[in-house]
Amino acid sequence: MSKVIAIAARDLKSWLHSFSFYLLAVFFLGVAGYFFWSGLSYFSLVSYQVATNPKLQVVSLNLTEGVLSSFLASLAAVLLLLIPVLTMRSLAEEKSQGTLELLFTYPISDVQIVIGKFLSLLALVFLLVSPTIAYFFLARAVGAKFETVSLLTGYGGLLLVGASFVALGLLMSSLVERQAVSAGIGFAILLFFWIVGWMAEWTSPTLGIVFKEMSLVEHFRDLGRGIVDTKDLAFFILFISFFLFATLSTLEIRTWKK
Amino acid sequence: MISVQNVSKFFGPIKALQNITFEIKRGEVVGFLGPNGAGKTTMMRLITGFFPPSEGQVLIDGKDLCKSKSEIRRKIGYLPENNPLYRDMTAKDFLSYVAQLKGISFRTQKTAIQKTAEQCGVESVFNRLVGKLSKGYQQRLGLAQALLGDPELLILDEPTNGLDPKQIVEMRNLIQLLRHERTILLSTHILSEVQMTCERVLILNEGKMAADLELKSIEASLEDIFLKVVNKEVELCQK
Ligand SMILES: Nc1ncnc2c1ncn2[C@@H]1O[C@H](COP(=O)(O)OP(=O)(O)O)[C@@H](O)[C@H]1O
Ligand SMILES: [Mg+2]
């Protein structure tokens, strides 16, 4: 375990020492802030209208439904774009500079390498995402109170989605040495898993169910509203395990020329 | 210490190594020669457990590398060809990272790093970025990572490649110092280096073992022998 942490810490440090991480962080937090603000102001507009129009009183409005879930969905979409950029270096760089050869001959296993890489990227995603919680405290200052439980489940779900993106990106970085290409393909595949549920409507009912079940968005929907369903959790864990396992298998082949 | 038995390695249609057999005893310093593409690096990667052979087996102290990986790898220090390093770390951070991965206990890490750094003469550049070091210092650092954990067996793949004559002499002297109580397998293109540091020489040609000689036993110059062997005029496997 200490070796896994050593690997994770090295990668994390290397990112935190690079300018590009701060550039990504500023971009992410800026976009997130915009989404949050526009979501909140739209919500307040609607609730004002509801309050002043007696005919609409029947609609019950709540902040979790109205703001939190759509905000988290937008964050997930931004992560979809960002995470391939974070993951593209991970194994590809070790390969191209040859240091993977060192790792492969030290007394550590391939599993430790993959888990270490995965954890370092997960920590990066956590560092990107967690400051956005501050927005909810700011919102509280102007009177918008969010339920803590839905906030926590929502963010937990966001991290699970992030972890899924990371696992897929890691596989790409083990397969594709050209980093830009790796990020591009990773983004395309993630996008597919994101929107595959929408295609469900246009296909046969049976295929539609399959598509819906594969969709990351469908499984994130309830978590984003603060509802924990074991089926969704199982899906994410399966998704992550599958791509980590695939990464491991590509490392075990060791067929690259140098 | 090392026992290579009927080992072959194929990369698709390429036969990088074919039916290689040899033994290296504890404490021997062996030079590994052969033209480019002969299969030296591939052989060294098999001995370090980087990848498994397609046929045959490699035993280290009687144990199959593919079976008890961690235990055997602890005994091996490896300096790969082209000396890969993490360029964005300081020399010190790099060595402590390697010490952690080699499982050197936390309490002894500091002294182990200190000792190895002194041996390889890299303390003076401890706080510099690896990528900014001169080629000579980078090579020493590569040797230092191999030496961490005090391995009994050193595998050095062209350790003097790309160095200037002064650095080559320094590197050679360093290797001379390391030979006590260690088994060393060293590949190189510099024949005089083998003559100065090694007791025995293995020559590989086109993936086959072409010569296995004690240096004491040869009368002609190593250069003559090398050329004859590589041009397939003679085959000199003593066993
Ligand atoms: N990963 C690989 N994939 C395909 N062919 C390889 C690979 N590694 C080495 N080879 C081939 O195996 C042969 C031996 O290479 P190598 O062991 O690097 O030789 P040397 O170190 O003696 O120069 C060469 O023909 C090389 O092209
Ligand atoms: Mg070579």
Ligand nearest to the backbone CA of B33: 1
Eight-class DSSP state of B129: B
Q: Which residue of A has its CA nearest to B72?
A: A107
pLDDT value of residue A56 = 63
- Select from B78, B82, B103 the Cβ nearest to the Cβ of A105: B78
Domains in chain B (CATH in brackets) are 1-75+181-239 (3.40.50.300), 76-150 (no CATH)
Q: What is the DSSP string of A97-128?
A: TSHHHHHHHSS--HHHHHHHHHHHHHHHHHHH
pLDDT value of residue A60 = 58
Q: How far apart are CA B119 and CA A188, in angstroms?
A: 51
Q: Is B49 on the interface with A (CB under 8 A)?
A: yes
Does residue B109 contact residue B99 with C-beta atoms inside 8 Å? yes
pLDDT value of residue A59 = 56
- The shortest C-alpha distance from B166 to chain A (Å) reads 26
Chain centroid offset of residue B37 CA: 16
pLDDT value of residue A147 = 81
Task: Calculate the average pLDDT of chain A.
Answer: 87
Could you list the residue range(s) of the whole structural domain that residue A138 is in?
A: 2-257
- Select from A7, A18, A102 the Cβ nearest to the Cβ of B145: A102
Q: What is the DSSP string of B151-198?
A: -SEEEEESTTTT--HHHHHHHHHHHHHHTTT-EEEEE-S-HHHHHHH-
Q: How far apart are CA A139 and CA B154, in angstroms?
A: 62
Q: Does residue B193 carry a pLDDT above 80?
A: yes
Window from B82-91, B144-153, B168-177 with minimum mean pLDDT: B168-177
- For residue B103, list chain A residues with Cβ-Cβ distance below 8 A: 3, 107
pLDDT value of residue A49 = 79
Q: What is the DSSP string of A175-206?
A: H--SHHHHHHHHHHHHHHHHHHHHHGGGS-HH
Q: How far apart are CA A70 and CA B25, in angstroms?
A: 68
Window from A6-10, A61-65, A138-142, B136-140 with minimum mean pLDDT: A61-65
Q: Which residue of A has its CA nearest to B71?
A: A107
pLDDT value of residue B79 = 97
Write down the pTM of the prediction: 0.92
Q: Is B14 on the interface with A (CB under 8 A)?
A: no
Predicted confidence band of residue B238 (pLDDT cuts 50, 70, 90) = low
Radius of gyration, alpha carbons of chain B: 18
pLDDT value of residue A195 = 83
Say how many Å lie between the first and final Cα of chain B, rounded: 17
pLDDT value of residue A172 = 94
Mean pLDDT of the region B146-169? 92
Nearest to A33 by CA among A156, A131, A124: A131
Long-range contact list for A194-203, CB < 8 A, 24+ apart? A194/A77, A194/A80
Predicted confidence band of residue A250 (pLDDT cuts 50, 70, 90) = very high
Instruction: Write out the two tokens for B174.
Output: 């360093």
- For residue B87, list chain A residues with Cβ-Cβ distance below 8 A: 97
pLDDT tens digits for range A132-159: 988 888 888 877 777 888 888 889 999 9
Residue nearest ligand 1's atom 10 by CA: B16
Contact A3 B80 (CB under 8 A): no
pLDDT value of residue B5 = 94
- The shortest C-alpha distance from A7 to chain B (Å) reads 8
Nearest to B34 by CA among B209, B236, B172: B209
Residue A211 or A86, more confident: A86
Please tell me the total count of domains within chain A. 1
> B80 in ligand 1 pocket by Cβ < 6 Å?
no
Distances (CA, A) of A90 to A87, A167, A182, B190: 5, 11, 11, 37
Nearest to B114 by CA among B125, B105, B123: B123
pLDDT value of residue A61 = 62
- For residue B101, list chain A residues with Cβ-Cβ distance below 8 A: 3, 6-7, 103, 106-108
Name the maximum alpha-carbon separation found in chain B: 57
Most A-contacting residue of B63, B101, B141 (CB-CB within 10 A), to test interface: B101
Instruction: Encode A68-90: b = buried (16+ Cβ within 10 Å), e = exposed.
Output: bbbbbbbbbbbbbbbbbbbbbbb
* Burial class for B36, CB neighbours closer than 10 Å (0-12, 13-18, 19+): exposed
Predicted confidence band of residue A219 (pLDDT cuts 50, 70, 90) = confident
Predicted confidence band of residue B235 (pLDDT cuts 50, 70, 90) = confident
pLDDT tens digits for range A169-202: 999 999 988 888 988 999 999 888 888 877 777 7
- For residue A102, list chain B residues with Cβ-Cβ distance below 8 A: 78, 80, 84, 98, 145
Q: How far apart are CA B82 and CA B39, in angstroms?
A: 15
Contact A104 B98 (CB under 8 A): no
Ligand 1: which of B33, B42, B204 to mutate, most ligand atoms within 8 Å of CB?
B42
pLDDT value of residue A67 = 81
Q: Is B182 on the interface with A (CB under 8 A)?
A: no
Instruction: Write out the two tokens for A5.
Output: 């942490």
Instruction: Write out the two tokens for B208.
Output: 């086959």
Q: Does residue B64 carry a pLDDT above 80?
A: yes
Q: How far apart are CA A111 and CA A109, in angstroms?
A: 5
pLDDT value of residue A87 = 94
Eight-class DSSP state of B90: B
- Whose tokens are 């906030």? That residue is A151
pLDDT value of residue A70 = 86
Helix axes A2-16, B91-101, angle to 10 degrees: 160
Residues 6 or more apart in contact with residue B39 via CB below 8 angstroms: B9, B16, B17, B204, B206, B207
Most B-contacting residue of A17, A100, A102, A256 (CB-CB within 10 A), to test interface: A102
Say how many Å lie between the first and final Cα of chain A, rounded: 30
Contact A102 B76 (CB under 8 A): no
Q: Does residue B156 carry a pLDDT above 90?
A: yes
- Looking at the CA of residue B42, tell me the nearest atom of ligand 1: 17
| CA–centroid distance, residue B42 to ligand 1 (Å) | 6
Coil, strand or helix at A220: helix
Q: Is B34 on the interface with A (CB under 8 A)?
A: no
- Select from B11, B85, B101 the Cβ nearest to the Cβ of A3: B101
Mean pLDDT of the region B37-46? 95
Q: Which residue of B has its CA nearest to A15?
A: B88
Q: Which residue of B has its CA nearest to A95?
A: B84
- Select from B74, B84, B88 the Cβ nearest to the Cβ of A102: B84
Q: Does residue A257 carry a pLDDT above 60?
A: no
